[in-house]
Structure 1
Amino acid sequence: MKYRIKTWGPGLLLLSPSIVLIGIFVYGMIGATVNVSLTDRHSAQPAENYVGVDNYTDLASDDRFIHSLQNLLILTVVFVVGTLVMGVLWAFLLEKGVTAEGFFRSTYLFPMAVSFVASGVVWRWLLNSAEGENAGGLNALFGMIGLDFLQNPWWSHPDWGMAAMALPAIWQLSGYVMALFLAGFRGVPNELREAARMDGASEFKLYRHVIFPQLSPVALSALIIIGHMSMKMFDLIMAVSGAQYLTEVPAVYMWQTLLANDYAKAAAIAVVLLVVVAVLVVPYLISNARAERQR
């Protein structure tokens, strides 16, 4: 028994401060949020009664919440697809070999160093649909080159404004996906490439049947990471468009509800978001843990 304590005791002591802090400020806060979501606290006054899942059933019939979920779906799809396409393309070009690769790699990764708020302010100007001297950068450019039909929409467009909101996020995180796939490309053994070429495989077949199948874990990791980031996106949307109904997602709606002192409803929205993210992330973590044990 003493030997076992000496074995795992120092490690437990080293980790115990982090365990306590995570237990209080992560899982404790989650528990408190769930508790509030089950009450009737719809004002600044303390809750008086537990109402069970009434707040959740009310959300199911809340048109504004449904609208925010639809916006989140559009944002997530455009963001994930755009980021993966741009990231894989950049990684492929760098993997094929270019002059000044270090410069281009740093350039692609630079947007990650910029906060969502700072980039959101810049992209708000770029996507501004105002006319004349106050027109945003892209709109002014389109006006100068005669593409007037592209001037007005962007994030304020009622049909595809939410898709335009994904542009700043794609610009900011494509470099991260590029780094993941570039590391995956460089991790494929040269023996596999040479063996495929000796068997007569063209470059297209080499990537289609040999290299890209090796990158499926990288693709899954990228999909999970950027997918859950899009579901929690708040600061970028607030910086670009503010709390507007047209571009409202659950995180923004939760913030607006919290400002209105409807704590129970805001907590219910937070729990729904947590469940959505968990449905995406937890299976990946379980699969990753199993793969590690098999190794």
Structure 2
Amino acid sequence: MKRKHKESLTSLAILSPSIITLAIFVYGFIGRSVQISLLDWDTFTKFIMGAKDYVGLENYIGLFQEERFQTDLWNTLYFTLFFILGCLAIGILLSLILNNKPKGSYFLQNLYLFPMAISFVVTGTVWRWIFSPGRLPNDPRGINLLFERLGLGSLQWGWFTSTFSFLNFNVALIAVIIAAVWQFSGYTMAMWLAGLRGIDQQLIEAARIDGASKWQIFTQILFPIQKPITLSAIIVLAHVSLKAFALIYSMTGSGPNNVTDIPAVYMFEATFRSNRYSTGSAIAIVLLAMVGLLIIPYLVNSFKEE
């Protein structure tokens, strides 16, 4: 009994630095952000003088009434949707190809996974060069210059500088989505490939003998078996999409008329450029709630299954 008590104390002593650090720098700061979001603290003068009045939910109400924040939410919705679909489609296709172990498959696996080793800042900078439109039509740059050299001048357009929108979808997001999908489609490929190689091949062979086509094998055998992996990938990718600040800020910023703006960029500019501390904190809490809406149901379901 004394030995167990001693082991418990030893374990607690080892874990206590991590627990204290987590309590202060995660939950403590979250609590402080919630507190600031409920105050009238939107000028640097109030920061110096300490005159910050409690205003309740006024910052949140005003935030959702702002046209910029409404645009940010639409941009986040569309970016998340097409980012996840793109990563799933390309990642699953690559995993199916590599699962057949073509020549050079190990090299290709590493090649497709390589973008994940690059930071969002580097990815944003490189793809900004690629999608930089130049001055059309006389001085195209990036991919527009390639189109001109190939005789495909009709495909030239403004990319992330375009202000055209359709059903609240700003087409300038297309360039950002392509860059994000390029970086994270390898993640989906790796997860699916690991799952495919754990499937009993006799099950596939039996389906082929029964006359099942490749599409039927995929839709009725492979995809149902890989459903938990697909769900996990969706959760992770959705979480990544809400934290794409570095990619968008380094690649496009908020863009003309906020066409590529997202809540994280707005939070940064409101807090550190405009000294609107309460507004920035309110945006941070909204982002935290959005992440929670994605993660908590998945965790609850996982715990129930276990």
Q: TM-score range by the shorter chain?
A: over 0.9
In the alignment, residue 290 of structure 1 is paired with which amino acid? K
1:96 aligns with 2:100: yes
Alignment partner, residue 234 of structure 1? 245
Alignment partner, residue 294 of structure 2? 280
In the alignment, residue 11 of structure 1 is paired with which amino acid? S
C-alpha contact 1:39 1:47 (8 A) present in aligned 2: no
**Alpha-carbon displacement from aligned partner over 1:136-185 (angstroms, at most 9, x marks no partner):** 32111001111112222211112311122111111111111110110111
| Alignment counterpart, residue 140 of structure 1, candidates 141, 145, 151 | 145
CA distance, structure 1, for counterparts of residue 10 and residue 225 of structure 2: 39
1:173 aligns with 2:184: yes
1:247 aligns with 2:221: no
Kindly report the root-mean-square deviation, in angstroms, between the aligned alpha carbons of the 2 structures: 1.7
C-alpha contact 2:133 2:140 (8 A) present in aligned 1: yes
Report the TM-score, using the length of structure 1 for normalisation.
Answer: 0.93
Query: In structure 2, do the counterparts of structure 1 residues 47 and 174 end up closer, same or farther at CA, with 3 Å as the change threshold?
Result: farther
Alignment partner, residue 124 of structure 2? 120
1:203 aligns with 2:217: no
Query: In structure 2, do the counterparts of structure 1 residues 189 and 49 end up closer, same or farther at CA, with 3 Å as the change threshold?
Result: same
CA distance, structure 2, for counterparts of residue 230 and residue 53 of structure 1: 27
CA distance, structure 2, for counterparts of residue 177 and residue 134 of structure 1: 38
C-alpha displacement of 1:48: 2.3
What secondary structure, in the 3-state scheme, does the structure 1 residue paired with 2:112 have? helix
Query: In structure 2, do the counterparts of structure 1 residues 12 and 194 end up closer, same or farther at CA, with 3 Å as the change threshold?
Result: farther
User: Which 5+ residue runs of structure 1 have no aligned equivalent?
Assistant: none
C-alpha contact 1:74 1:163 (8 A) present in aligned 2: no
Alignment partner, residue 26 of structure 1? 26
CA distance, structure 1, for counterparts of residue 12 and residue 225 of structure 2: 37
User: Which 5+ residue runs of structure 2 have no aligned equivalent?
Assistant: 166-170
In the alignment, residue 210 of structure 1 is paired with which amino acid? I
Report the TM-score, using the length of structure 2 for normalisation.
Answer: 0.90
In the alignment, residue 225 of structure 2 is paired with which amino acid? Q
In the alignment, residue 66 of structure 1 is paired with which amino acid? Q
In the alignment, residue 259 of structure 2 is paired with which amino acid? L
In the alignment, residue 211 of structure 1 is paired with which amino acid? L
CA distance, structure 2, for counterparts of residue 92 and residue 101 of structure 1: 11
**Alpha-carbon displacement from aligned partner over 1:206-247 (angstroms, at most 9, x marks no partner):** 222112101001100110001111112111111111233221
The percentage of aligned residue pairs carrying the same residue is: 41
CA distance, structure 2, for counterparts of residue 233 and residue 288 of structure 1: 26
CA distance, structure 1, for counterparts of residue 175 and residue 261 of structure 2: 13
CA distance, structure 2, for counterparts of residue 276 and residue 221 of structure 1: 17
Alignment partner, residue 168 of structure 2? none
Q: Which deviates more, 114-123 or 185-194?
A: 185-194
C-alpha contact 1:139 1:152 (8 A) present in aligned 2: yes
In the alignment, residue 174 of structure 2 is paired with which amino acid? A
Query: In structure 2, do the counterparts of structure 1 residues 229 and 47 end up closer, same or farther at CA, with 3 Å as the change threshold?
Result: farther
CA distance, structure 1, for counterparts of residue 51 and residue 29 of structure 2: 17
Alignment partner, residue 86 of structure 2? 82
CA distance, structure 2, for counterparts of residue 273 and residue 109 of structure 1: 28
CA distance, structure 1, for counterparts of residue 26 and residue 51 of structure 2: 22
CA distance, structure 2, for counterparts of residue 268 and residue 47 of structure 1: 19
1:155 aligns with 2:169: no
Alignment length (residue pairs):
292
| Alignment counterpart, residue 57 of structure 2, candidates 49, 53, 63 | 53
What secondary structure, in the 3-state scheme, does the structure 2 residue paired with 1:187 have? coil
CA distance, structure 1, for counterparts of residue 4 and residue 51 of structure 2: 47
